[in-house]
Protein backbone atom coordinates (compact mmCIF):
# COMPACT_ATOMS: atom_id res chain seq x y z
CA UNK A 1 0.00 0.00 0.00
CA UNK A 2 1.39 3.32 -0.98
CA UNK A 3 2.38 5.65 1.84
CA UNK A 4 0.10 8.60 2.44
CA UNK A 5 2.08 11.83 2.07
CA UNK A 6 2.14 14.12 5.17
CA UNK A 7 0.32 17.39 4.86
CA UNK A 8 2.47 20.51 5.01
CA UNK A 9 2.29 22.37 8.35
CA UNK A 10 0.13 25.41 8.01
CA UNK A 11 1.92 28.76 8.35
CA UNK A 12 1.26 30.55 11.63
CA UNK A 13 -1.60 33.01 11.21
CA UNK A 14 -1.04 36.71 12.07
CA UNK A 15 -3.56 36.33 14.89
CA UNK A 16 -1.59 33.53 16.55
CA UNK A 17 1.64 35.52 16.12
CA UNK A 18 -0.04 38.54 17.68
CA UNK A 19 -1.20 36.48 20.65
CA UNK A 20 2.29 35.03 21.09
CA UNK A 21 3.91 38.48 21.05
CA UNK A 22 1.36 39.79 23.54
CA UNK A 23 2.12 36.84 25.81
CA UNK A 24 5.90 37.50 25.62
CA UNK A 25 5.33 41.17 26.39
CA UNK A 26 3.19 40.41 29.45
CA UNK A 27 5.73 37.89 30.76
CA UNK A 28 8.71 40.26 30.46
CA UNK A 29 10.41 40.60 33.87
CA UNK A 30 12.10 43.94 33.26
CA UNK A 31 12.04 46.96 30.99
CA UNK A 32 15.20 45.74 29.26
CA UNK A 33 13.53 42.41 28.51
CA UNK A 34 10.40 44.12 27.21
CA UNK A 35 12.40 46.44 24.99
CA UNK A 36 14.26 43.44 23.57
CA UNK A 37 10.92 41.82 22.67
CA UNK A 38 9.68 45.04 21.07
CA UNK A 39 12.85 45.59 19.02
CA UNK A 40 13.50 42.00 17.90
CA UNK A 41 10.37 39.83 18.23
CA UNK A 42 8.01 42.25 16.47
CA UNK A 43 9.62 41.11 13.22
CA UNK A 44 7.51 37.91 13.49
CA UNK A 45 4.39 39.99 12.79
CA UNK A 46 5.74 42.96 10.84
CA UNK A 47 8.76 42.33 8.64
CA UNK A 48 11.21 45.24 8.78
CA UNK A 49 14.84 45.96 8.16
CA UNK A 50 15.46 47.78 11.44
CA UNK A 51 13.53 48.64 14.57
CA UNK A 52 14.41 51.13 17.29
CA UNK A 53 12.73 51.63 20.63
CA UNK A 54 12.85 55.19 21.96
CA UNK A 55 11.96 56.00 25.56
CA UNK A 56 10.54 59.28 26.83
CA UNK A 57 12.07 60.82 29.97
CA UNK A 58 10.27 62.96 32.55
CA UNK A 59 11.06 66.12 30.55
CA UNK A 60 9.73 64.47 27.36
CA UNK A 61 13.20 64.03 25.85
CA UNK A 62 13.62 61.03 23.53
CA UNK A 63 16.53 58.59 23.80
CA UNK A 64 17.19 55.30 21.99
CA UNK A 65 16.73 52.42 24.46
CA UNK A 66 16.95 49.37 22.16
CA UNK A 67 17.90 48.55 18.54
CA UNK A 68 17.08 45.37 16.67
CA UNK A 69 19.98 42.91 16.38
CA UNK A 70 22.20 45.16 18.57
CA UNK A 71 22.83 43.99 22.17
CA UNK A 72 24.01 47.33 23.55
CA UNK A 73 23.37 50.34 21.31
CA UNK A 74 25.67 53.36 21.53
CA UNK A 75 23.48 56.44 21.92
CA UNK A 76 26.31 58.59 20.54
CA UNK A 77 26.42 56.69 17.24
CA UNK A 78 25.62 58.96 14.26
CA UNK A 79 22.58 56.92 13.17
CA UNK A 80 21.05 56.90 16.65
CA UNK A 81 21.63 60.62 17.03
CA UNK A 82 19.88 61.16 13.68
CA UNK A 83 16.87 59.05 14.72
CA UNK A 84 16.72 60.87 18.07
CA UNK A 85 16.68 64.24 16.31
CA UNK A 86 13.87 63.08 14.01
CA UNK A 87 11.88 61.76 16.98
CA UNK A 88 12.14 65.06 18.82
CA UNK A 89 10.79 66.90 15.80
CA UNK A 90 7.97 64.41 15.17
CA UNK A 91 6.92 64.53 18.83
CA UNK A 92 5.94 68.17 18.32
CA UNK A 93 3.41 67.34 15.63
CA UNK A 94 -0.29 66.96 16.34
CA UNK A 95 -0.30 63.31 15.23
CA UNK A 96 2.63 62.33 17.48
CA UNK A 97 0.36 60.07 19.54
CA UNK A 98 -1.14 58.30 16.53
CA UNK A 99 0.41 55.52 14.46
CA UNK A 100 1.28 56.86 11.01
CA UNK A 101 3.74 56.65 8.17
CA UNK A 102 6.59 59.15 8.42
CA UNK A 103 7.12 61.34 5.38
CA UNK A 104 10.44 62.98 4.74
CA UNK A 105 8.78 66.39 4.67
CA UNK A 106 7.90 65.97 8.36
CA UNK A 107 11.52 66.49 9.46
CA UNK A 108 13.91 69.36 8.94
CA UNK A 109 15.98 69.86 5.82
CA UNK A 110 19.13 68.64 7.57
CA UNK A 111 17.54 65.32 8.55
CA UNK A 112 16.02 64.92 5.07
CA UNK A 113 19.47 65.26 3.54
CA UNK A 114 20.76 62.39 5.72
CA UNK A 115 17.67 60.17 5.37
CA UNK A 116 19.07 57.89 2.67
CA UNK A 117 22.28 57.40 4.67
CA UNK A 118 20.72 56.42 8.01
CA UNK A 119 17.30 54.94 7.22
CA UNK A 120 15.35 52.83 4.75
CA UNK A 121 12.89 54.52 2.44
CA UNK A 122 9.74 53.79 4.42
CA UNK A 123 9.30 54.46 8.15
CA UNK A 124 6.37 53.88 10.50
CA UNK A 125 5.92 55.85 13.74
CA UNK A 126 4.37 53.56 16.36
CA UNK A 127 3.71 55.50 19.61
CA UNK A 128 3.49 53.52 22.85
CA UNK A 129 0.80 55.23 24.92
CA UNK A 130 -0.50 53.90 28.23
CA UNK A 131 -4.25 53.60 28.85
CA UNK A 132 -4.14 56.83 30.88
CA UNK A 133 -2.86 58.68 27.82
CA UNK A 134 0.72 59.03 29.06
CA UNK A 135 3.30 58.27 26.30
CA UNK A 136 6.19 56.06 27.41
CA UNK A 137 8.03 55.48 24.14
CA UNK A 138 8.01 55.09 20.38
CA UNK A 139 8.70 52.15 18.08
CA UNK A 140 10.55 53.27 14.94
CA UNK A 141 10.18 50.72 12.09
CA UNK A 142 11.93 51.08 8.73
CA UNK A 143 12.20 48.96 5.55
CA UNK A 144 12.53 49.34 1.79
CA UNK A 145 8.93 48.33 0.94
CA UNK A 146 5.87 50.34 1.95
CA UNK A 147 3.86 49.16 4.96
CA UNK A 148 0.39 47.85 4.12
CA UNK A 149 -2.69 49.13 5.92
CA UNK A 150 -3.35 45.65 7.33
CA UNK A 151 0.11 45.65 8.90
CA UNK A 152 -0.52 49.02 10.49
CA UNK A 153 -3.72 47.72 12.10
CA UNK A 154 -1.77 44.83 13.66
CA UNK A 155 1.00 47.21 14.73
CA UNK A 156 -1.53 49.49 16.46
CA UNK A 157 -2.99 46.56 18.37
CA UNK A 158 0.49 45.36 19.34
CA UNK A 159 1.50 48.88 20.44
CA UNK A 160 -1.36 48.92 22.96
CA UNK A 161 -0.08 45.68 24.49
CA UNK A 162 3.50 46.93 24.58
CA UNK A 163 2.47 50.20 26.25
CA UNK A 164 0.36 48.37 28.84
CA UNK A 165 3.23 46.02 29.71
CA UNK A 166 5.64 48.98 29.85
CA UNK A 167 3.37 50.83 32.26
CA UNK A 168 3.00 47.73 34.45
CA UNK A 169 6.78 47.40 34.77
CA UNK A 170 7.29 51.09 35.48
CA UNK A 171 4.39 51.29 37.90
CA UNK A 172 1.51 53.74 37.98
CA UNK A 173 2.39 57.37 38.18
CA UNK A 174 0.66 58.75 41.21
CA UNK A 175 -1.35 61.85 40.44
CA UNK A 176 -0.56 64.95 42.39
CA UNK A 177 -2.88 65.63 45.32
CA UNK A 178 -5.48 68.29 44.77
CA UNK A 179 -3.94 70.58 47.37
CA UNK A 180 -0.70 70.69 45.39
CA UNK A 181 -2.54 72.27 42.47
CA UNK A 182 -4.37 74.80 44.64
CA UNK A 183 -3.14 78.31 43.89
CA UNK A 184 -4.83 79.73 46.97
CA UNK A 185 -3.04 77.23 49.17
CA UNK A 186 0.33 78.07 47.61
CA UNK A 187 -0.35 81.79 47.96
CA UNK A 188 -1.23 81.28 51.61
CA UNK A 189 1.92 79.22 52.13
CA UNK A 190 4.05 82.00 50.62
CA UNK A 191 2.41 84.61 52.86
CA UNK A 192 2.88 82.38 55.91
CA UNK A 193 6.53 81.88 55.01
CA UNK A 194 7.08 85.62 54.68
CA UNK A 195 5.42 86.23 58.03
CA UNK A 196 7.54 83.49 59.57
CA UNK A 197 10.73 85.03 58.19
CA UNK A 198 9.79 88.34 59.82
CA UNK A 199 9.29 86.86 63.28
CA UNK A 200 11.84 88.22 65.77
CA UNK A 201 14.21 85.66 67.25
CA UNK A 202 17.10 85.99 69.66
CA UNK A 203 20.40 86.22 67.81
CA UNK A 204 23.19 84.19 69.38
CA UNK A 205 26.71 82.96 68.70
CA UNK A 206 28.89 80.17 70.04
CA UNK A 207 32.54 80.62 70.96
CA UNK A 208 35.20 78.67 72.84
CA UNK A 209 35.84 79.94 76.33
CA UNK A 210 37.20 79.28 79.79
CA UNK A 211 36.68 80.16 83.43
CA UNK A 212 38.98 83.08 84.31
CA UNK A 213 39.73 85.02 87.48
CA UNK A 214 37.91 88.25 88.24
CA UNK A 215 40.41 91.08 88.91
CA UNK A 216 43.42 88.84 89.70
CA UNK A 217 46.66 90.12 91.24
CA UNK A 218 49.45 90.12 88.68
CA UNK A 219 52.87 88.86 89.77
CA UNK A 220 55.33 90.51 87.38
CA UNK A 221 59.08 90.21 87.05
CA UNK A 222 60.69 92.66 89.53
CA UNK A 223 63.95 92.79 87.56
CA UNK A 224 65.63 91.75 84.34
CA UNK A 225 66.94 88.24 84.68
CA UNK A 226 66.48 84.52 84.13
CA UNK A 227 63.90 82.45 86.02
CA UNK A 228 65.73 79.76 88.01
CA UNK A 229 63.01 77.83 89.84
CA UNK A 230 59.41 77.77 91.03
CA UNK A 231 58.29 77.02 94.57
CA UNK A 232 54.63 76.41 93.66
CA UNK A 233 52.72 74.36 91.13
CA UNK A 234 50.04 75.63 88.72
CA UNK A 235 46.65 76.24 90.40
CA UNK A 236 48.15 75.76 93.87
CA UNK A 237 46.61 77.74 96.72
CA UNK A 238 49.23 80.05 98.26
CA UNK A 239 49.26 82.25 101.34
CA UNK A 240 50.51 85.81 101.73
CA UNK A 241 54.31 85.95 101.98
CA UNK A 242 54.83 82.46 100.51
CA UNK A 243 57.70 82.07 98.05
CA UNK A 244 56.55 81.78 94.44
CA UNK A 245 59.67 81.74 92.28
CA UNK A 246 63.32 82.74 92.24
CA UNK A 247 65.61 84.29 89.65
CA UNK A 248 69.16 83.23 88.96
CA UNK A 249 71.11 85.25 91.62
CA UNK A 250 74.66 84.40 90.59
CA UNK A 251 75.31 87.80 89.04
CA UNK A 252 73.36 89.63 91.75
CA UNK A 253 75.36 87.94 94.54
CA UNK A 254 78.63 88.87 92.84
CA UNK A 255 77.54 92.47 92.42
CA UNK A 256 76.53 92.66 96.10
CA UNK A 257 79.88 91.23 97.21
CA UNK A 258 81.81 93.65 94.99
CA UNK A 259 79.73 96.56 96.30
CA UNK A 260 80.45 95.49 99.91
CA UNK A 261 84.19 95.31 99.24
CA UNK A 262 84.20 98.68 97.50
CA UNK A 263 82.34 100.17 100.48
CA UNK A 264 84.97 98.78 102.87
CA UNK A 265 87.74 100.34 100.77
CA UNK A 266 85.91 103.69 100.70
CA UNK A 267 85.45 103.60 104.47
CA UNK A 268 89.17 102.92 104.92
CA UNK A 269 90.01 105.85 102.65
CA UNK A 270 87.66 108.03 104.72
CA UNK A 271 89.38 107.09 107.99
CA UNK A 272 92.78 107.75 106.47
CA UNK A 273 91.67 111.18 105.24
CA UNK A 274 90.22 112.06 108.65
CA UNK A 275 93.48 111.11 110.41
CA UNK A 276 95.57 113.13 107.94
CA UNK A 277 93.37 116.18 108.36
CA UNK A 278 94.45 116.47 112.04
CA UNK A 279 98.08 117.15 111.10
CA UNK A 280 97.71 118.62 107.62
CA UNK A 281 95.22 121.34 106.93
CA UNK A 282 95.44 120.72 103.16
CA UNK A 283 94.32 117.07 103.68
CA UNK A 284 91.06 118.31 105.20
CA UNK A 285 89.68 118.84 101.67
CA UNK A 286 90.06 115.11 100.98
CA UNK A 287 87.70 114.24 103.85
CA UNK A 288 84.60 115.55 102.08
CA UNK A 289 85.53 113.69 98.89
CA UNK A 290 86.13 110.44 100.77
CA UNK A 291 82.86 110.82 102.65
CA UNK A 292 80.97 111.29 99.36
CA UNK A 293 82.63 108.17 97.98
CA UNK A 294 81.47 106.22 101.05
CA UNK A 295 77.90 107.44 100.52
CA UNK A 296 78.05 106.38 96.86
CA UNK A 297 79.32 102.88 97.65
CA UNK A 298 76.72 102.55 100.40
CA UNK A 299 73.98 103.34 97.89
CA UNK A 300 75.43 100.84 95.39
CA UNK A 301 75.52 98.14 98.07
CA UNK A 302 71.96 98.96 99.09
CA UNK A 303 70.81 98.71 95.45
CA UNK A 304 72.63 95.41 94.89
CA UNK A 305 71.25 93.99 98.13
CA UNK A 306 67.74 95.10 97.17
CA UNK A 307 68.00 93.36 93.78
CA UNK A 308 69.30 90.25 95.47
CA UNK A 309 66.38 90.31 97.89
CA UNK A 310 63.88 90.81 95.03
CA UNK A 311 65.30 87.83 93.13
CA UNK A 312 63.03 85.69 95.30
CA UNK A 313 59.41 86.63 94.53
CA UNK A 314 56.84 86.21 97.29
CA UNK A 315 53.05 86.35 97.24
CA UNK A 316 51.71 89.74 98.29
CA UNK A 317 48.25 88.26 98.88
CA UNK A 318 46.62 84.86 99.21
CA UNK A 319 45.01 83.17 96.23
CA UNK A 320 45.37 80.54 93.53
CA UNK A 321 48.63 80.66 91.58
CA UNK A 322 47.55 80.66 87.94
CA UNK A 323 50.18 79.91 85.32
CA UNK A 324 50.59 77.23 82.67
CA UNK A 325 53.78 75.29 83.18
CA UNK A 326 56.89 75.96 85.24
CA UNK A 327 59.12 74.38 82.60
CA UNK A 328 58.00 77.04 80.12
CA UNK A 329 59.58 79.70 82.36
CA UNK A 330 62.66 78.07 83.84
CA UNK A 331 65.75 79.28 81.98
CA UNK A 332 63.78 81.93 80.11
CA UNK A 333 65.06 85.53 80.24
CA UNK A 334 62.36 88.02 81.25
CA UNK A 335 62.11 91.79 81.37
CA UNK A 336 61.00 93.92 84.28
CA UNK A 337 57.22 94.06 84.46
CA UNK A 338 56.60 90.92 82.42
CA UNK A 339 53.65 88.90 83.75
CA UNK A 340 54.59 85.49 85.14
CA UNK A 341 51.87 84.45 87.61
CA UNK A 342 48.43 85.73 88.54
CA UNK A 343 47.00 85.26 92.02
CA UNK A 344 43.26 84.73 91.77
CA UNK A 345 40.50 84.52 94.33
CA UNK A 346 38.78 81.17 93.62
CA UNK A 347 35.46 82.60 94.78
CA UNK A 348 35.58 85.48 92.27
CA UNK A 349 35.55 84.17 88.71
CA UNK A 350 34.27 85.22 85.30
CA UNK A 351 33.69 83.40 82.04
CA UNK A 352 35.80 84.54 79.13
CA UNK A 353 35.07 83.82 75.46
CA UNK A 354 36.96 84.51 72.24
CA UNK A 355 34.23 85.35 69.72
CA UNK A 356 35.43 84.90 66.11
CA UNK A 357 35.06 87.95 63.89
CA UNK A 358 32.89 85.94 61.46
CA UNK A 359 30.36 85.28 64.27
CA UNK A 360 30.43 88.76 65.78
CA UNK A 361 27.09 90.29 66.74
CA UNK A 362 25.91 93.39 68.59
CA UNK A 363 27.33 93.09 72.11
CA UNK A 364 25.63 95.14 74.80
CA UNK A 365 26.50 95.08 78.46
CA UNK A 366 24.11 92.82 80.31
CA UNK A 367 23.49 90.37 77.45
CA UNK A 368 22.94 86.81 78.62
CA UNK A 369 25.85 84.36 78.40
CA UNK A 370 25.72 80.62 79.07
CA UNK A 371 28.78 78.39 79.39
CA UNK A 372 28.63 74.64 78.78
CA UNK A 373 31.66 73.15 80.50
CA UNK A 374 33.46 70.32 78.76
CA UNK A 375 33.80 68.61 82.14
CA UNK A 376 30.10 68.98 83.03
CA UNK A 377 28.02 69.90 79.95
CA UNK A 378 24.69 69.11 81.66
CA UNK A 379 25.12 71.94 84.18
CA UNK A 380 25.37 75.23 82.28
CA UNK A 381 26.80 78.31 83.98
CA UNK A 382 24.78 81.51 83.52
CA UNK A 383 26.38 84.95 83.36
CA UNK A 384 25.88 88.48 82.06
CA UNK A 385 28.15 90.25 79.61
CA UNK A 386 30.40 92.66 81.51
CA UNK A 387 33.00 93.76 78.96
CA UNK A 388 33.97 93.20 75.34
CA UNK A 389 37.07 94.31 73.47
CA UNK A 390 36.68 96.86 70.69
CA UNK A 391 39.55 95.44 68.65
CA UNK A 392 39.95 91.86 67.53
CA UNK A 393 43.15 89.99 68.34
CA UNK A 394 44.60 86.58 67.56
CA UNK A 395 43.46 83.96 70.05
CA UNK A 396 45.51 80.99 71.26
CA UNK A 397 43.80 78.92 68.55
CA UNK A 398 45.08 81.29 65.86
CA UNK A 399 41.64 82.83 65.17
CA UNK A 400 40.97 86.55 64.91
CA UNK A 401 38.44 87.08 67.68
CA UNK A 402 36.97 89.54 70.17
CA UNK A 403 37.58 88.99 73.88
CA UNK A 404 34.27 88.86 75.76
CA UNK A 405 33.96 88.50 79.55
CA UNK A 406 30.87 87.92 81.65
CA UNK A 407 30.10 87.99 85.38
CA UNK A 408 28.28 85.05 86.94
CA UNK A 409 24.65 85.49 87.87
CA UNK A 410 23.89 85.75 91.59
CA UNK A 411 23.63 82.32 93.16
CA UNK A 412 25.79 80.59 90.54
CA UNK A 413 28.44 78.34 92.05
CA UNK A 414 31.90 79.43 90.95
CA UNK A 415 33.51 76.72 88.78
CA UNK A 416 37.21 76.00 89.00
CA UNK A 417 39.47 78.50 87.29
CA UNK A 418 40.89 77.13 84.05
CA UNK A 419 37.95 74.91 83.06
CA UNK A 420 37.15 75.20 79.36
CA UNK A 421 33.96 74.81 77.36
CA UNK A 422 31.64 76.46 74.86
CA UNK A 423 29.97 79.79 75.58
CA UNK A 424 26.72 80.93 73.99
CA UNK A 425 26.40 84.69 73.75
CA UNK A 426 22.93 86.14 73.20
CA UNK A 427 22.47 89.28 71.14
CA UNK A 428 19.49 91.42 70.20
CA UNK A 429 16.31 90.14 68.60
CA UNK A 430 16.40 90.13 64.79
CA UNK A 431 14.05 88.84 62.05
CA UNK A 432 14.31 85.12 61.40
CA UNK A 433 15.42 85.88 57.82
CA UNK A 434 18.48 87.79 59.07
CA UNK A 435 19.20 85.08 61.64
CA UNK A 436 19.25 82.37 58.96
CA UNK A 437 21.00 84.27 56.17
CA UNK A 438 23.35 86.57 58.10
CA UNK A 439 26.46 84.69 57.05
CA UNK A 440 25.51 84.30 53.36
CA UNK A 441 24.66 88.01 53.18
CA UNK A 442 28.00 88.91 54.77
CA UNK A 443 29.83 86.59 52.36
CA UNK A 444 28.11 88.17 49.34
CA UNK A 445 28.91 91.67 50.57
CA UNK A 446 32.52 90.66 51.08
CA UNK A 447 32.71 89.22 47.55
CA UNK A 448 31.11 92.30 45.99
CA UNK A 449 33.09 94.73 48.13
CA UNK A 450 29.97 96.44 49.48
- The domain spans of the chain are 14-170, 217-328, 345-448
Q: Name the CATH superfamily housing domain 14-170.
A: GAF domain (3.30.450.40)
Q: Name residues whose C-beta falls within 8 Å of residue 342's C-beta, 6 or more positions apart in sequence.
A: 213, 216, 217, 218, 219, 321, 322, 323
Q: What pLDDT sits at residue 205?
A: 87
Give the separation between CA 269 and CA 296, rounded to whole angstroms.
Answer: 13
pTM of the model: 0.50
Q: What pLDDT sits at residue 2?
A: 38
Helices 432-448 and 183-198 cross at an angle (nearest 10°) of 80
Count other Cβ atoms within 10 Å, centred on residue 350: 20
Q: Average pLDDT per run of 10 along the chain, which is 450 residues long?
A: 37 79 90 92 92 81 88 90 91 89 91 91 92 88 93 91 89 66 83 91 89 88 89 90 88 81 82 72 70 83 80 88 87 90 87 86 86 91 90 83 91 88 90 84 78
CATH number of the 345-448 domain: 2.40.30.170
Q: What pLDDT sits at residue 9?
A: 36
**What is the Cβ-side half-sphere exposure of residue 406, based on CA atoms within 13 angstroms?**
28
Q: What pLDDT sits at residue 443?
A: 80
Q: Per DSSP, what are the bridge partners of residue 124?
A: 101, 141
Burial 181-210 (b: 16+ CB within 10 A, else e): eeeeeeeeeeeeeeeeeeeeeebbbebbbb
Q: What pLDDT sits at residue 263?
A: 81
Amino acid sequence: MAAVPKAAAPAASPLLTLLQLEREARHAQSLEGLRFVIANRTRMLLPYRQAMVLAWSEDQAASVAAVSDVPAPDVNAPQLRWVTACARQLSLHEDSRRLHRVEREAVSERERAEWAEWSAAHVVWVPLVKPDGQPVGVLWLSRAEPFADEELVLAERLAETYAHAWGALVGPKRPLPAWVKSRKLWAGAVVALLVLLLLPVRQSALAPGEVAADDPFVVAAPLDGVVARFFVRPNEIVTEGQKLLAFDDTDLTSRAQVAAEELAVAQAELRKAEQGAMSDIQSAAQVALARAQVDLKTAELSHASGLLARSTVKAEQAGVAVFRNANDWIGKPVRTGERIITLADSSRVMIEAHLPVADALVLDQGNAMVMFLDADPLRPVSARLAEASYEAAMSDEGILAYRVRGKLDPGEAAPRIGLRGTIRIDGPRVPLFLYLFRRPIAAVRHMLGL
